[in-house]
Amino acid sequence: MQDNTGLSSDRKKYLRKIKLNKFSVLFTQIAIVILFIVLWEVLANLNILDSFITSQPSRILNTFMNLSSNDLLKHLGVTFYETIVRIFIWYSTWFFSCNCFMAI
């Protein structure tokens, strides 16, 4: 039996099942990441993990927030710009040297 969308009820059930499966996989992945971070924080607070070596998620977040207030994005932008310029220079040099070699 088909409705006005042109899809049969079996096809709709199949598509709904696929969508539910994708959602459950995404939910599981997010839950695993959250569980990992919470477990990491708890183990570091209980001194089971050496927080000097592995740090803690809360310390990492605090450091990032501190760096963000001290022009982190400006420095990241400069680094990104320099990287793009270096890649362009490298590619231009490589392309020019290959063409010169082929001409010889």
Give the single-character DSSP code of 32.
H
- 5/24 same-domain check: yes
For the chain, helix, strand, coil in percent to 5 are: 80, 0, 15
What pTM, to 2 d.p., does this model score? 0.58
Residues 64 and 20 in one domain: yes
The answer to whether residues 19 and 9 belong to one domain is yes
For the chain, the domain total comes to: 2
What whole-number distance in Å separates Cα of residue 31 and Cα of residue 36?
A: 8
C-alpha atoms less than 13 angstroms from C-alpha of 21 in its C-beta half-sphere: 6
Residuewise pLDDT in 10s, the chain (104 residues):
555 567 888 889 999 999 999 999 999 999 999 999 999 999 999 999 888 888 899 999 998 888 877 787 888 899 999 999 999 998 888 777 776 766 66
**Which range of residues forms the domain containing residue 90?**
71-104
Cα R_g (the chain), whole angstroms: 26
Cα end-to-end span (Å), the chain: 71
- Tallying the residues shown for the chain, one arrives at 104
Same domain, 91 and 66: no
